[in-house]
Amino acid sequence: MQKINSSDLRTDAFMQWCRMVNIRPIKMILSCPTRWDSAYNMLIRALYLRKAIDRFVLDDSELERFRLNEREWEMCGLLVTILMPFKKASTALQSASRPAIDEVFWTYETLFNKIDMVKSTFALEKYANKDWVEGLHGAVDAMAGKLRKYYDATEKPFVYPNGVILEPNGKLMLFKQQTWEPHYADTYSDACREHFIKHYQLIAPPPSAPVAPSSRKRKLADFEDEHNDYRTALNKLASNRVSRVGR
């Protein structure tokens, strides 16, 4: 006689609760420390399955102690909001075989701005009396530190700004955003020109490199017809500049 696994019974019971609350019956996801975005995937799935999870744990006396209260569900929602930009960025970069330097720079810039926005959100009055927000302050600071560690990992500090300036569609437009001080466009432009004159102007160009075999992964250029925040931002900045000149 085949032994019935208790975990299988609980899975079946959970699927039944999904159907009873009119939710598509799908399994929950566990967070894995070695897999990118796993915490986000776990939380977004849990929020989708919230009604089924609440009913399921109440129906099982051994699991009832794991039931999340309203505050804990609210925390889950806020964590998803914090992690969503990182999920989006990692998905975009992993989908391309060779992300361009300007794309990487834009990703870092966007994520640092998102972290600043999260910190501003925590300062809102509606979060003033929530003790658990204090714990998130430290977590967000740790996220910023980890991001800064990767950003500073290159031994060549000029790589990111030069990559942006030499991208023909963008050039100096990204440095003219409101998040940058007015002098940065000229500062980075002068530094890029000085670096080229000092290191490359008098050096003969190297022989052409062999063409690499094609990859199954799409290049970032292939995303231009799809939703791309970076290209959208460049187009918006360019159109704003044209409209100002025409006035």
- The 10 Å Cβ neighbour count of residue 93 is 13
Of 5-14, 25-34, 122-131, 210-219, least confident by mean pLDDT is 210-219
**218 - beta bridge partners?**
96
Mean pLDDT of 164-185: 83
Cα 133 to chain centroid distance, Å, stands at 21
Average pLDDT over the chain reads 80
Write down the pLDDT at residue 222.
Answer: 46
pTM for this prediction: 0.67
Question: CA-based angle 139:34:143, to the nearest 5?
Answer: 20
Cα–Cα distances (Å) from 90 to 23, 36, 113, in that order, read 28, 8, 16
Write down the pLDDT at residue 33.
Answer: 82
For residue 158 the two structure tokens come to 């000029």
- How does pLDDT run across 33-89, given as a tens digit for each residue? 888 888 999 999 999 999 999 999 988 888 888 899 998 998 899 889 889 988 988
